[in-house]
Chains A and B, each alone.
Chain A
Amino acid sequence: MSDHAILIEGLTVSYGDHVAVSELDLRVERGQVCGLIGPNGAGKSTTMKVLATLQEPDEGRVEVLGRNLREEAHWVRWHLGFMPDVIALPEQLTVEQYLRYGAGIHALPPERIESAVDDVVALTDLQAHREKDLGGLSKGMRQRLFLARTLLPEPELLILDEPASGLDPRARVELRELIRELQRMGRTVLISSHVLADLAEVCDAIAIIEAGRTVAHGSLDDIRARSRSESVVRLEMVSEPEAARELLAAHALVQRVDVEGRQVFVSFTGGREELARLLNELARADHLFCTVSLEGDDLENLFLKLTEGVVS
């Protein structure tokens, strides 16, 4: 069994003369939660549609769960769960009826439908809304319901296109929790979102795409390291701040050190591991500090640094 759940090499998709995705590469390991981010028009949804077998790729190699998408699209369709960005639900049905319908679509055996519906309802915390008409559900509940429907066949790979779009803060927190739960259950998740803070919290890996190409791909640390992104580390010193300045300034990944009162601001270009080593070194040299905080190394800053807002 291959290690990767998704492997894309040189994917190109065009709509007439318009090239939506151009030689895009992406690799998502099994069990990973990978965030797909990019500006509007970058090709995220197109890429996801290709993976969901809704869009035929023009060129490139695409493997999903070890199967070649071109040759075994039907197999892939059986084994993945896809949540599109626009969800339309038949409003006359109740939550329960809709999930039973979903169970039918996924060919669950009749004797398993009840328990499967119970499971996903519990997982998505929809118990109180089971008998409600879909027309009366809030946006957050609709998202959860659709995710529940997607989870019915227990797919190994989930592709979620903008699941947090339009959700209020509470619903976003709940969605994050749900994704973490899926992660604990060993599911592979490819998720796109414009709420980068959410992605940074739940994703093991990030792929940044722009104009149909992969700009950066890997863990947040990897990307940060590769992009030489500068973050500012703020240290609240217990010992003399000026004494630490020399040691810090001598480090290869430190660009600049500023001292203000008991606070030291370090411009650092390394990843989190290098930062941990530096702090360890500092402590061993008896430069004691009580607080460390990172500023400017978040996903949003990285995204802004790596992308230029170009649309394919």
Chain B
Amino acid sequence: MSTAARYLPASTGLGSDGPPSSRDRWTAWRRQVVGVARMTATLAFRQQGALVLAERALVVQALLGLVLYLVNAFYPFQGMLTIFAAIAVTYAIGSGVVVFTLMARDAVAEVTSKSRDHLATGPLPASAYLMGKSLFFVLLQCFLLCTRFPAFAAAAVVSPFGLGHVLLIFVVMAIWVFGTVVWVVRQASLAEQWPTSNDGDDDDQASFHRRIQSLARQSGQAAAQNASLQSAVIFLGPILAFLLAVFTMVGVNTHEMVRLLMWAAPPLAAYAAFLPDIGIRLLGFALPGWAMTLVLHVVSVPASYYSAEARWKAPDRLRGLGLRWSSALAWSTPGVMTAGLTSFQAAAHGWALLLIPILAGTWAAAQGTLSPVADLGKRHLHGWRRILGLDRSTSWFLGLVVVALNGLLLARFAPSGVTTKPWLLAAALPLLALPLLFATTLGSLAFRESVRRRIGSLLVLGAFLLLAALPVIQSSWRQVPGMEFTRALQPFVDTSSLLSPITSLRAMLAELLTRAPSAFSKGTVGWQWAVPLQFALVGLGWQVDRWLTAKKAEHDD
């Protein structure tokens, strides 16, 4: 049979003369998808290094949490184990899925970017791969959202108009997903234009450079647009709900605009029912998250620019990795916020909010200057430093200020869910960061890259384990004078009733919401001490960094 007669090549064993049947097309498509999926999975699981270790730890943690959660559902544990299971499973699954999503996305991105030309030569065009990638990405996002559904569901359970609440969140999330799709499609169209080499056919060297830079800028702009959209959605969604709740409460819903927005009345009522507590909670837990998200998104714009540029220069490593951590942080923040809404995990997530950036920074620093992530960080740090006219030490100082501010915000607004002495927490955070900074800077001086990677892995792993163990640590704090155990969680630690998870969740939330306002009023303790203390610590960190920098310069000389 001549090849000219049949649509699908004989090698596929499908079809014959003339157009293929829909069944043959489907079979061919399925084989292709399986091929790509298998490769993606192979790539994802064969990637070496610290990140994979951390990712695997998360996956294991998630699985353990899931087992605990399921066991608890049928044979409920008492007290602390219930809380541990709930916190571990929610956090670990959320984080695990986030990281796994990123890992898989990067694997796909790697495949599509690196193989763009030759994939395109196969029966599946590059655009199909990129569209497939976007679909994959969106599906994973949906999956991600689903893992957060228990939190939404919990909100719905305790809300008299729960369904509306859930719907609102889903509308917000749908816009978010839409933004992502727009971004991915835009990336796909840009990727199509991406020159693979200066083979001399297209243009001269200078022109080639201009094209690369132009595409890199467009890519950065697309990422910025996406970041803006996501930030807007993440930031404005809850704010909108909050405002609507306020409007509902104070009766200004006669305003035309508000009335237009009042289609979302059920969630407003849900919020209103718990105001001011939930609003305070939103501010206390979500605001640092939002701030961090915005900062990360702002940072990720130059990062994406450089990663786009780097894709041309070193396509095998930087693409995907560049935004991995900043994306992970940005992505985990809404999850933290959502968890904040259900509140019972507030303590753990309050810590997570601060630990994750610190860990990410630590991991990046531990990679040393040879690491693409550190290199990328350095590149965009240089970019920002040029823009702001800052020297290296000042940049570090500002970085620490951001961390400290986050801690302060948490301390300022946190109810007693973490500790009754929030200034301790505020002070402890930079203290936590400092040894890590010491360790990593010294590590970069003393150890080879491979050793640094291991140190980074251990730090990340250790910190995640610390996160998981936090409730246990908290429970032991009960015994320490002055470190009163979380009031809000108290009733459930000693509970002897065997509650189903949902009932437990609902009761926990209701109890928390009732008690939190009074706890919040105590949250300002230590505010006046926390600021000078933090600045002193940051200043100390700055000095230490300067000293280490000088030492490193001597060492390098």
Contact = CB atoms under 8 A, between A and B. Distances in A.
Contacts of A98: 39
B202 A46 contact: yes
Given A40-B200, A42-B201, A109 B13 contact: yes
B119 interface: yes
Contacts of A80: 121
B120 A105 contact: no
Contact of A93 (B12, B46, B122, B124): B46
A154 B3 CA distance: 11
B121 A52 contact: yes
A116 interface: yes
B43 A105 contact: no
Contacts of A40: 199-201
Interface in B13-65: 13-14, 27-29, 31-32, 34-36, 38-39, 42-43, 46-48
Given A44-B201, A85-B199, A92-B42, A108 B11 contact: yes
Contacts of A91: 316
Contacts of B199: 40, 45, 85-86, 162
B386 interface: no
A164 interface: no
Nearest to B14: A107
B276 interface: no
Contacts of A106: 9, 11-12, 122-123
Interface in A88-143: 88-93, 97-98, 100-110, 112, 116
Contacts of B8: 78, 107
Contact of B11 (A83, A88, A153): A153
A84 B118 CA distance: 7
A296 to B, nearest CB: 27
B197 A85 contact: yes
Contacts of A108: 11-13, 31
B121 A150 contact: yes
A93 B118 contact: no
A213 interface: no
Interface residues of A, number: 62
A155 interface: yes
Given A84-B117, A109-B31, A154-B11, A97 B42 contact: yes
Nearest to B8: A78
Interface in B195-239: 196-197, 199-204
Nearest to A75: B7
The winner among A2, A85, A106 for most chain B CB atoms within 10 A is A106
B315 interface: yes
B546 interface: no
Nearest to A152: B11
Contacts of B35: 100-105
A91 B315 CA distance: 11
B480 interface: no
Contacts of A92: 42-43, 46-48
Contacts of A116: 11
Contact of B39 (A67, A79, A83, A104): A104
Interface in A255-285: none
A77 B122 contact: yes
Contact of A67 (B4, B31, B119, B202): B4
A44 B201 CA distance: 7
Contact of B34 (A75, A93, A104): A104
Contact of B120 (A52, A67, A81): A52
B528 interface: no
Given A20-B202, A146-B118, A53 B125 contact: yes
A100 B204 CA distance: 38
Contact of B9 (A44, A78, A87): A78
Contacts of A109: 12-14, 31
B9 A41 contact: no
Nearest to A15: B202
A254 interface: no
A90 B119 CA distance: 12
Given A105-B36, A156-B3, A89 B114 contact: yes
Contacts of A88: 114-115, 117-118, 315-316
B110 interface: yes
Contact of A77 (B10, B38, B121): B121
B121 A41 contact: no
A243 interface: no
A42 B201 CA distance: 6
Nearest to B36: A104
The winner among A2, A46, A78 for most chain B CB atoms within 10 A is A78
Contact of B124 (A15, A82, A105): A105
A135 to B, nearest CB: 8
A305 interface: no
B479 interface: no
A184 interface: no
Nearest to B196: A86
B111 interface: yes
A33 to B, nearest CB: 18
A54 interface: yes
Nearest to A93: B42
A42 B200 CA distance: 8
A75 to B, nearest CB: 6
A90 B115 CA distance: 8
B2 interface: yes
A112 B124 CA distance: 19
Contact of B38 (A100, A150, A162): A100
Contacts of B34: 104
Contacts of B197: 85-86
B32 A104 contact: yes
The winner among A44, A102, A150 for most chain B CB atoms within 10 A is A102
The winner among B13, B14, B119, B201 for most chain A CB atoms within 10 A is B201
A290 to B, nearest CB: 46
A18 B31 CA distance: 40
A90 B120 contact: no
B201 A107 contact: no
30 contacts: A1-B4, A15-B203, A20-B202, A41-B200, A43-B201, A52-B120, A53-B120, A67-B4, A77-B121, A85-B199, A86-B117, A90-B43, A91-B316, A92-B43, A97-B39, A98-B39, A100-B38, A102-B122, A104-B31, A104-B32, A104-B35, A105-B123, A106-B11, A106-B122, A108-B13, A109-B14, A109-B31, A110-B31, A153-B9, A162-B199
Q: Which 4 A-B pairs have the closest CB atoms?
A: A104-B35, A40-B200, A82-B121, A107-B28
Interface of B: 2-4, 7-14, 27-29, 31-32, 34-36, 38-39, 42-43, 46-48, 110-111, 114-115, 117-126, 196-197, 199-204, 315-316
Given A15-B202, A85-B197, 9 more contacts: A20-B201, A45-B202, A53-B125, A84-B196, A85-B199, A86-B199, A88-B114, A91-B316, A105-B119
Interface of A: 1-2, 15, 18, 20, 40-46, 52-54, 65-67, 74-75, 77-93, 97-98, 100-110, 112, 116, 146, 149-150, 152-156, 162, 311
